[in-house]
Amino acid sequence: MNKIKVLLVDDHTLFREGVKRLLTDYEDLQVVGEATNGQEAVQMVGQLHPDVVLMDVGMPEMSGAEATYRIRTTYPETQVIMLTVSEREEDLFASVKAGARGYLLKNTHTGELVEAIRRVHAGEAMIAPPMAVRLLEEFGTLTRQSSPEPQPSELTERETEVLRLVAQGLGNKEIADRLDLSEHTVKTHLRHILEKLHLRSRAHAAAYAVQSGLIKGVDRMD
């Protein structure tokens, strides 16, 4: 029997050890490695070629969404499941946009986690029920906006750059570093974007950017 190779990515050692012990009880699963941040995860995927990565969202060095994008871009055969405490819409949307095939909360039962690993490995997607509802609501809102006003062309060039990076899952600090700006300036641009597009949250701004095609052709790789 070919085992499903799993890579654990979380900056909390005790959590990684706990998940590893739980997964060893299943004959069809094999934990092949552990990483403490997103940057390590990208490197280890290249070395170990896991089938599924269990990825935390908030980590030092590189966020889970950024790491997921890099993994899915470079190693498309590797699937990613976000395993996190975050119930924020921004994190959910950024993860899905980055290519994650699953989004589970850390209070998920072991059986549900194992089933998610198996199903994602088989090509399906698994989203925690409360998060799935939020995801559907986000896209439902966009669908009802048959002609969003105002148009993205009303944004300045810098605001458009910020919006593109928001839609790709980057946080304010990452955007600031990418554009050589201060975090305060990034926050100001984001506030102006929300005001001009009449959007109520960062998640809605990201969804709007996808819907309007603003992120097509944008390269996030350094």
**CATH code linked to domain 152-212:** 1.10.10.10
Domain map of the chain by residue range?
Answer: 4-131, 152-212
CATH topology of domain 4-131: Rossmann fold (3.40.50)
Report mean pLDDT in 10-residue bins for the chain, 222 residues: 93 95 95 95 96 94 91 94 89 87 92 94 85 63 50 79 87 92 93 84 80 55 38
Beta strands in 23-70 (DSSP E): 29-35, 52-55
Backbone angles phi, psi at 35, to 5 degrees: -130, 150
pTM (2 d.p.): 0.63
β-pairing, 29-35 vs 52-55, is: unpaired
User: d(Cα 42, Cα 64) in Å, to the nearest integer?
Assistant: 10
Q: What is the pLDDT of residue 147?
A: 46
Please report the pLDDT score of residue 17 as a whole number.
95
Judge contact between 90 and 97, C-beta under 8 A.
Answer: no
Which residues, at least 6 apart from 168, have a Cβ–Cβ distance to it below 8 Å?
A: 69, 94, 97, 98, 215, 218, 220
For residue 142, the model assigns a pLDDT of 52
Tracing tokens 């012990």 back to the chain, one arrives at: 21
The per-residue pLDDT for 135 is 65
Cα(216)–Cα(219) distance, integer angstroms: 9
The DSSP result for 111-134, as a single string, is: HHHHHHHHHHHTT--EE-HHHHHH
Beta bridge partners of 80: 53
- Distance from the first to the final alpha carbon of the chain: 39
